[in-house]
Structure formats: C-alpha cells, structure tokens
Amino acid sequence: MLAEAVAIESVSGDPSKRSQTIEMVHWIKERLEELGARCTLEHLGNQTTDGKQIALPPALLGQLGDDKKKKTVLVYGHLDVQPAAKEDGWNTEPFVLTEIDNKLFGRGASDDKGPVLCWIHAVEMLHKHKVEIPINIKFCFEAMEESGSVGLEEMLEKNKNKFLSDVDFTCISDSYWLGKTKPCLTHGLRGICSFKVEVTGIQQDLHSGVYGGIIHEPLADLLWVMSQLTSVDNRILIPGIYDDLAPMTNEESALYDKIDFNVQEFCESIGAKKLPTEDKKTLLVRRWREPCLSIHGIEGAFSGAGEKTVIPSRVVGKFSIRIVPNMEPGKVNEMVLDFLNEVWKTRGSPNTFRPQVGHHALPWVADTSNENFNAGARAMKLVHGVDPDYIREGCSIPITLTFQELTGRSVLLLPLGAADDMAHSQNEKINKVNYLNGVKTLLSYLLELRKV
Amino acid sequence: MLAEAVAIESVSGDPSKRSQTIEMVHWIKERLEELGARCTLEHLGNQTTDGKQIALPPALLGQLGDDKKKKTVLVYGHLDVQPAAKEDGWNTEPFVLTEIDNKLFGRGASDDKGPVLCWIHAVEMLHKHKVEIPINIKFCFEAMEESGSVGLEEMLEKNKNKFLSDVDFTCISDSYWLGKTKPCLTHGLRGICSFKVEVTGIQQDLHSGVYGGIIHEPLADLLWVMSQLTSVDNRILIPGIYDDLAPMTNEESALYDKIDFNVQEFCESIGAKKLPTEDKKTLLVRRWREPCLSIHGIEGAFSGAGEKTVIPSRVVGKFSIRIVPNMEPGKVNEMVLDFLNEVWKTRGSPNTFRPQVGHHALPWVADTSNENFNAGARAMKLVHGVDPDYIREGCSIPITLTFQELTGRSVLLLPLGAADDMAHSQNEKINKVNYLNGVKTLLSYLLELRKV
C-alpha cells in the first residue's frame, strides 16, 4: 500500500502534478471508505500560479464511528510531498518505493504518506481482530501542506461549530524522533517569518565584459546586505531579536537533562565537521526555543552548472527566521525590515532595494499534563518498552495551533519516523521497523484513549 | 536568410540542441558553396558534459579564390548562440526573426548570425554585379564560441602552416559600436580569469526548521566571502590587483578625448539610476583598460520562484575578473586564490572552502596604423560618411589573439551592430539599417583591401 501511495507523484508545489495530487486524495478516500468511514471532499477553491488559476486539491474530512457516548479523536495528516528527482542525488527512483537494508526509500515514505497509512493499518487491525474501537475517529487529510496549506485554515474555521465541534483530542504524526532509536512526544514547534530582499539596478541582464566595472552590480549589493544578517555560528545580528524570548523555568530546564541525545552522533549524522556548540542542552535550546536565520538562496542570479558571464539585473535573496515564544511575527517583521533598511543606507548604492515580508506562522508550545499526551506516552511505552522523551521541534507545523485554537483541546504530536528519515531532502525513507511499530503505536494510542 | 538562420536553434551550451548547432554549420556551408567557395568541415572531437560524451559541432574552413598574385583575407564568425527563452523576458519568440520598428529581433540576429550573413551578402552583391573580388577570401566559422570555442585553437594551430599560412589580414565582426549611430573600429579587448568558490559543510541539503541555528551554514559563509571582493562602486578589493596596469601614454590618452560617447545617454540606455563615474574618460578607461570583477551567481542554493526553507549543503559562487595589459593570468589567479584563502581564515568557519581557478583568456591590444585598419576605416567612411572612432571593448574574444599570433598579421575587429543590440541578453536585435549597411561596409572593405 505504501508503494502504491508513493507512486502517486502528489507534489503540491508543482502545478504540472496537480492531477496526481488530487488523485492522491481520492486514493486515500477509497482506503478510508473500505474501513467504513464516511468521507466528504472539501473543495478549497483555486490558486493563482504563474498568472494562471488552477484548482486546489480538496481536503478530506472523514468520520469513523458516531457514538455520542464515546469521546472523539481527530487525526490529521497530509498526502502531498516535496519535489524529488533522481538527478538531485537520490540513490533510487524517488517515486518507486525501494527496500534496502530494511529501509523503505521513497518520497513521502516518512513525510507523510507512511504515517497516514499507519492510521489506516491500525484501524484495519482492530477490524480484523474484531476489537471495538473505543473512540470515534475523525480524519482531516489535506494535500497542500508542503505549499503552505492553502485554504485549509479557512475551511477548518467554517467547521469550528460543525465537524470540529465534538473533537476531544487531536493527534498529528508529521514530525520525527530526536534520534534514531528512542521514541518521543513533541510538545513544541517554532514558528517562522520569511523574507525576500530584492535589488534591481539595470533594465536587464548585461554582459559582464561589456559593462563590468561601470555598474553598481545588484548582486554584489545583495550579497553584502545578506552577509550582515548572521555571524559565522548562526547568531542573528539584528538588534533586539533575542529580547522577547520566553524565560526558561527551572521545570523546563530540568526537562533537557533527561533527554537522550548525543551531540557527537548528531554531528556525524549530518556530516558536519564541527557544530557551533558541543553542549547538548545549549544545542537543543538553540534548535527548539531560540530563533535562527537561514539564507535559502537567490532568484535571478546565474544558478546553473558551468559559467555564464552575466551581470544579473534583478536579484532576490530569500531567507527566513524561525520564531519562538514570545516573539511576535509583526514585531519581528518590523525589526527585520528596519534593520535591512538601516544596513542598506550605509551601503551607498544607487540601486533599488526592496525588502519584503513573506508568510509567517506562529510558534506552538503545549502543556503535556493531559490525557492526550498520557495516552500517547503509554502507547509508546507499550510498543517500545521505554518512556518517550518529551521534545520540541525546530520546524513549523502551523496547523497544530489552528487545531488547538479551534477545538480548544489538546493537540499531540506523535512522531513515528526516525531523525534520519530525510524529509524534504534526498533519499527520504522510513525504517521498516518504524513503519510496523508506527501501526502498533497508533493502535495502542486509540485503545489507551479508552481509559480517559 | 537571416530568419532561416535564426530559426535554427544553435545553442552550443545546451547539449539537447547539439543537432541544431551542427545543422547550422551545414546550412552555412551550403550558402558558401552556392557562392563558389570550397569548404571543409573540421571535426573537433567530443566534449564531456554531465558525464556523457557528445560530438562537438565541426568548424568550417572555406576558401573563395586562390590567386597567388592576390592577397588573402581571413574572415571569422560564429554560428552558435546564447540560450534564449520567451519566459526570460523576451517580447517576441527568440527563434522567430520578428521585425518591429525597423529592428530585427531574434537570438543571433546580431551575435553573430547577422554579421556572418553580411559577409555572404557582400560576396553575393559582388557576384551579381560581376565585380572581380580583388582578394582571396578564407572563411573560418565555428559553432562553439558561446561555450569557450572548445577545440578551435588546437585545430587552428595545426593549420598554422597550411590553411593559415598565406593569410595577410584577418577581419572579425563580432563586437558592437560604442553608441547607436557612429561606426567604430575596435583595437583592444579585455581578457578574463574566471573563478569558482565552493563551500560545503553538511552531507546534504537540510530542513531549515529542524537544523537551523545549530549549523555553520555554507551559504552564509559563501555570501560573506564574496561580499569581500568588491566595493559598492565595483572597485576590486584584492590587494595588488591594479599594480600591473600598463601606463597610459599621452597618445593613448588623447584618443579618449576624440571619442563620441555620451555618459548620460549610456546611463539611461541600461536603465541605471547613477553610474560609479560620470566622467566620459574615466568611464571608458574603467570599461576598457582596467580590470573589473563581476559576481555571476551561485550554484546549489535555492534559485526558483517562491519559497523553499532549505539549508543548502554545497554552494558554489561564480565570479570573473576581466584583465587588461599588462596583467598576467597566472599572477592574477594566484593573487585571487591567496586573497580568498586569507579572507577565509578570518571567517573562522569549520566548513570546507575550495576556491578554484576556471578558464582564462588574454587581453588584446593592437596597433591600428596598418593597411587592415586603414581599409576598414575607409570602408566605414564610404558607407557612413564619417571617420570611425577607434575604440576598445571590455569583453573578451580570445580567438582574436590566436589569429594574430598564428598568422603574424593584423587582426581587425569591424563591428556592424549598435551598442543596444543586447547580445547575450533578452530581446537581442539588429537594426535593419545596420544589417544593410553591414553588407555595404564588408563589401567596401574587401574592395578597399585591393589598394594595399
């Protein structure tokens, strides 16, 4: 089944693959209906891309069981994937699930088709063994998560007093363990503020031989500006950016000491020679509860292999800042724009400078002392024999906060994949053991919720 | 005929267009044979691209007339073009010659298919009017010029004592006027040294949410290093780089005063708000006889539209320095590598830094007091009614020096197109009047050589 799902190239960011992305929603709908779930497709309207309107893939709302005496759990997952091509450095065909050394390689294997199928297999197992499901299950699966979940939040808001009105717990399996072997529960995520910086100065790209030396080159300006943003060890140089960080309580501080994490192993696993810090706690704090700034690339400059002796006319730098409590996106955006404009003034270039604010998402930190987290922890213990670590994540899953606010109830992030699953990267995989234990974990979680 | 030539998509840098590039050579061979020229195709072997071997397009050597009592002129041109796509910002289909306001738009219209066809039309006219051509004409046309003229120099060296042995003059029409209306002869070109700077630090691209803040990001290192190369007004910050410049003689200095060039018009024509200098002479000196450094782009970073929250693992910055007499490529390369390594040391990053030297070409400055230049000047005067300016060019045409050295005789650069023809850029065109006057100029040049 995972091979079938991976073979559907549901790349939401690629308009040419929109029909496969829509197909993937229908495919999952059939699987859920086979389990007895009632499903509806929620049409989310159109999207404008390259000046053209194309249909958004629908979101799927499903319901299995409608017993007013039972509690209700909402399961969220996404059916779309990041782009992938063999040429990017994959060892196998990215859309052909390939087993090597008990690992299942394929785009979406871990992010997030594998975990979505774990839910389906968990229910299948309960059916097969004629175990009554002790809780009503609602499903919300979307296919635009990798492209900003366009349309989802609006649709969910409209369902606040309908589909979402009786949800008692939400569970999301769309993140990763901290390491390769120990399970964990996730109770925090960073938010994000993204930015573009455009520099233009000449009408069109020019020949660097003919015009070199007598132009204020936009790309040189842009590189200089972006080089002012961070220090070598990725500390952000924007004044005030660290001022609003939530103070760490003793209780929170103590949590870090218990966490199973080996800095040296982590360093080796990503192939780095040295990290900015070798202290476990400092590293995790920087990763989870401090902002960071990453420069992603430049649009408009020459990016191919080989040489092209061009002076690019319009270049756009892309960077983003991950934000944490209690940073506010509005204030962060203002701080960044002010800083960029101040720095630009000192450059003395006649070129046109246009910093722009992109999308943002809020950070999320949840209380873990509730039945939802407790059920997750007991399920993990049952399957893995150890208590899970309570961790946070550096990345952003904006819909987490939306579910929490719209249902007014606990959202649990229950990761199934290992830290080295390489979501968003080349050679994404899910370990076979994680996939199988994932089914068991979700099944146990459903049964544990009975005890509430 | 120009429309037919432009329609052949002879993009030498694109391996998928290799068959069209080869087709273009055959197409020109037929045109030359129709004029009575004897032609041979010189096979230049293979090229390795993306790990595959593909055939290089052959070069064409042709000969029209073989009268031992006559002098011999060698004509060089190239049949390949830069890439072009409507999406890049062309107003018309780049491979469909389109006339708008007496301008002929199309890739290659001016660089260099138009000028090559001017030679063919010039000979046609002489044939049509039964004028005896007073000189033997040899043709050397290649189809790899936009990709470093791979294989050409070697082939020419082998022909030093054969095809090239009796060449008295060489003429190349592959550059541009200084302005839009006044003709000129070109007697100098800058050379080039090109560089790549690679920074790597992690095994593969990483998710900026999950890993941001605890990595020495290779792209941040690269931007910082490249921001150290130039000042805002494009002065090179590498110590010693201006030390070897040939001193300017009074005679050379006086040449600049005569040249017809309007800085304000030039500034407007490229859409710049302000140039680093507003003084005509300073600007031309920087453009023609001083080095400059242009950053072309970055390979390996995100370069698409939209957002991708990635930490690129391996980024390669590309830049080049145009060199002038008496700079030596070997010394320039050493200076640049030393500077980069010194700057890198002060960065304090554990990432791997690998600056690399790319291809280079020597600058060229020619004596203009000879019969070749005089014939060119008289031809220009006949057609345009004014004496041409004697200019230099900021760009590099390495084959110029090769012809000069292998024949031991004068090489004349006789530009036909206007300054705003936008070679290498979007909306390349040749003015209809330049195309027609181009035919007349080359025809007159051939007739003027008779007087030698």
**Interface contact A208-B297, CB threshold 8 A:** no
Q: What pLDDT shows up at residue A305? A: 83
Report, as an integer, the average pLDDT of A352-360: 95
Q: For an interface test with B, which of A223, A275, A293, A396 has the most B Cβ atoms less than 10 Å from its Cβ?
A: A223
Tell whether B254 is covered by a domain.
no
| Mean pLDDT estimate for chain B | 95
Q: Which of A217, A322, A352 sits opposite B295 (nearest CB)?
A: A217
| Mean pLDDT estimate for chain A | 95
A87 has pLDDT over 90: no
Annotated catalytic residue A278:
no
Q: From chain B, pick out residues whose CB is under 8 angstroms from the CB of A319.
A: none
Closest CA to A142 of A156, A130, A128: A156
Q: B173 with B112: CB under 8 angstroms?
A: yes
Tell whether A275 is covered by a domain.
no
How high is the ipTM of this complex? 0.90
Q: From chain A, pick out residues whose CB is under 8 angstroms from the CB of B221.
A: 232
**Tens-place pLDDT, residues B285-326:** 999 999 999 999 999 999 988 888 899 999 999 999 999 999
- A89 and A32 together in one domain: yes
Q: What pLDDT shows up at residue A244? A: 97
Report, as an integer, the average pLDDT of A231-255: 95
CA distance A435 to A108: 13
Tell whether A171 is covered by a domain.
yes
Tell whether A92 is covered by a domain.
yes
Contacting A residues, span 422-441, partner chain B, CB-CB under 8 Å: 422-427
Q: What pLDDT shows up at residue B14? A: 87
Residue B325's CB is within 10 A of a number of other CB atoms, namely 16
Q: What pLDDT shows up at residue B259? A: 92
B452 has pLDDT over 80: no
- Pair type for strands B103-105 and B184-189: unpaired
Q: Which two tokens stand for residue A329?
A: 């996106």
Pick the residue from chain A with its C-alpha nearest to B200.
A272
The domain containing residue B439 runs over which residues?
1-189+364-451
3-state per-residue secondary structure call for chain A = CHHHHHHCCCECCCHHHHHHHHHHHHHHHHHHHHCCCEEEEECCCEEEECCEEEECCCEEEEEECCCCCCCEEEEEEECCECCCCHHHCCCCCCCCCEEECCEEECCCCCCCHHHHHHHHHHHHHHHHCCCCCCCEEEEEEECCHHHCCCCHHHHHHHCCCCCCCCCCEEEECCCECCCCCCCEEEEEECEEEEEEEEEECCCCCEEHHHHCCCCCCHHHHHHHHHHCCECCCCCECCCCCCCCCCCCCHHHHHHHHHCCCCHHHHHHHCCCCCCCCCCHHHHHHHHHCCCEEEEEEEECCECCCCCCCEECCEEEEEEEEEECCCCCHHHHHHHHHHHHHHHHHHHCCCCEEEEEEEEEECCEECCCCCHHHHHHHHHHHHHHCCCCEEEEECCCCCHHHHHHHHHCCCEEECCCECCCCCCCCCCCEEEHHHHHHHHHHHHHHHHHHCCC
- A109 and A132 together in one domain: yes
Residue type, A11: V
CA distance B43 to B155: 9
- A11 and A52 together in one domain: yes
Q: What pLDDT shows up at residue A49? A: 77
**Interface contact A204-B427, CB threshold 8 A:** yes
- A85 and A24 together in one domain: yes
Q: Which of A224, A310, A425 sits opposite B227 (nearest CB)?
A: A224
- A120 and A224 together in one domain: no
Q: Does B274 touch chain A (CB under 8 A)?
A: yes
Residue B203's CB is within 10 A of a number of other CB atoms, namely 17
- B217 and B177 together in one domain: no
Q: What pLDDT shows up at residue A451? A: 80
CATH code of A381's domain: 3.40.630.10
Q: What pLDDT shows up at residue B176? A: 93
Q: Which two tokens stand for residue B266?
A: 């030039």
- B143 and B57 together in one domain: yes
Which residues are B353's β-sheet partners? B199
Q: Does A89 touch chain B (CB under 8 A)?
A: yes
Please state, for a pLDDT cut of 70, what percent of chain A lies above it. Answer: 100
Tell whether A324 is covered by a domain.
yes
Residue type, A30: E
CA distance A265 to A334: 38
| Among candidate residues A341, A361, A381, the one where a domain is terminated | A361
List active site positions of B: 80, 145
Report, as an integer, the average pLDDT of B335-363: 97
B49 has pLDDT over 80: no
| Among candidate residues B361, B376, B404, the one where a domain is terminated | B361
Catalytic residue among A80, A142, A217, A393: A80
A329 has pLDDT over 90: yes
Q: Does A311 touch chain B (CB under 8 A)?
A: yes
Report, as an integer, the average pLDDT of B202-231: 96
Q: What pLDDT shows up at residue A132? A: 93
Closest CA to B254 of B284, B297, B220, B217: B284
Q: From chain B, pick out residues whose CB is under 8 angstroms from the CB of A190.
A: 209
- A344 and A427 together in one domain: no
Q: From chain A, pick out residues whose CB is under 8 angstroms from the CB of B283.
A: 214
Q: What pLDDT shows up at residue B304? A: 86
- Quote the number of domains for chain B: 2
A452 has pLDDT over 80: no
Please give the model's pTM, rounded to 2 decimal places.
Answer: 0.89
CA distance A369 to A255: 14
Report, as an integer, the average pLDDT of A327-348: 98
Residue type, A277: T
For residue A218, how many C-alpha atoms fall within 13 Å in the half-sphere facing its CB? 30
Q: What pLDDT shows up at residue A304? A: 86
Q: For an interface test with A, which of B144, B145, B223 has the most A Cβ atoms less than 10 Å from its Cβ?
A: B223
Contacting A residues, span 189-208, partner chain B, CB-CB under 8 Å: 190, 192, 194, 201-208
State the Cα torsion B321-B323-B329-B335 to the nearest 10°. Answer: -60
**Interface contact B219-A297, CB threshold 8 A:** yes
A359 has pLDDT over 80: yes
- A34 and A180 together in one domain: yes
Q: How far is residue B51 CA from its own chain's centroid? A: 27
A107 has pLDDT over 80: yes
Q: What pLDDT shows up at residue B89? A: 84
Q: Which of A45-49, B245-249, B381-385 has the lowest mean pLDDT?
A: A45-49
Closest CA to A82 of B155, B373, B304: B304
Q: B359: distance to nearest CA of chain A, Å?
A: 9
What angle, 0 to 180 degrees and rounded to 10, lies between the N-to-C axes of helices A432-449 and A113-128? 60
Taking phi over 0 as left and psi of -120 to 50 as alpha, with beta for the rest, B407 belongs to alpha
B111 has pLDDT over 90: yes
CATH code of B198's domain: 3.30.70.360
B74 has pLDDT over 80: yes
pLDDT-derived band at B450 (thresholds 50, 70, 90) equals confident
Q: Which of B216, B286, B424 sits opposite A213 (nearest CB)?
A: B286
Q: B230: distance to nearest CA of chain A, Å?
A: 8
A13 has pLDDT over 80: yes
Q: What pLDDT shows up at residue A160? A: 97
pLDDT-derived band at A88 (thresholds 50, 70, 90) equals confident
Q: Which of B271, B312, B347 sits opposite A203 (nearest CB)?
A: B271
Q: From chain B, pick out residues whose CB is under 8 angstroms from the CB of A299.
A: 303-305
| Among candidate residues B313, B342, B361, the one where a domain is terminated | B361
Give Cβ neighbours of residue B34 (< 8 Å, ≥ 6 apart).
Answer: none
- B100 and B44 together in one domain: yes
Tell whether A329 is covered by a domain.
yes
- A357 and A368 together in one domain: no
Q: For an interface test with A, which of B307, B353, B391 has the most A Cβ atoms less than 10 Å from its Cβ?
A: B307
Closest CA to A415 of A395, A401, A84: A395
Q: B394: distance to nearest CA of chain A, Å?
A: 5
pLDDT-derived band at B135 (thresholds 50, 70, 90) equals very high
Tell whether A433 is covered by a domain.
yes
Tell whether B321 is covered by a domain.
yes
Report, as an integer, the average pLDDT of B258-280: 94
A243 has pLDDT over 90: yes
B50 has pLDDT over 80: no
Q: For an interface test with A, which of B190, B197, B214 has the most A Cβ atoms less than 10 Å from its Cβ?
A: B214
CA distance B195 to B316: 10
Give Cβ neighbours of residue B145 (< 8 Å, ≥ 6 apart).
Answer: B12, B78, B80, B112, B174, B399
A425 has pLDDT over 90: no
Report, as an integer, the average pLDDT of B267-288: 96
- B153 and B76 together in one domain: yes
Q: How far is residue B183 CA from its own chain's centroid? A: 19
Q: Does A307 touch chain B (CB under 8 A)?
A: yes
